[in-house]
Homo-oligomer: A and B are copies of this chain.
Amino acid sequence: MQKKRSRIQIINQQKLLDAATKVFASYGFRGATIDQIADMAGMSKPNLLYYFKTKKEIYLAVLEQTLNKWLQSLQDWMVTGTPEETIINYINKKFEFSRDHPAGSRVFANEIMEGAPILKNLLGEDLKRLVGENTRVIKGWVTAGQIRPIEPIHLMFMIWAVTQHYADFSAQIETLTGKTLDDEDFYKQAKKTAIQIILGGILK
Identify the A interface with B (CB < 8 A): 25-32, 106, 109-110, 112-116, 120, 127-128, 131, 148, 150-151, 153-155, 157-158, 160-162, 164-166, 168-169, 171-173, 175-177, 189-190, 192-194, 196-202
Other-chain contact of A114, B27, B157, B160, B166 (Cβ < 8 Å)? B27
Can you list 21 pairs linking A and B with CB atoms under 8 Å apart? A26-B114, A27-B28, A28-B110, A30-B30, A31-B31, A109-B113, A110-B110, A113-B171, A127-B176, A151-B189, A153-B176, A157-B166, A158-B165, A158-B193, A161-B162, A161-B169, A196-B201, A197-B197, A197-B201, A198-B201, A200-B202
Interface SS of chain A:
helix
In the complex, what's the smallest C-beta–C-beta distance from A86 to chain B, in angstroms? 16
Assembly stoichiometry (copies) = 2
The 5 closest A-B pairs by CB, nearest first: A197-B201, A31-B31, A30-B31, A161-B165, A154-B193
* Interchain CA distance A198-B202 in the complex, whole Å: 9
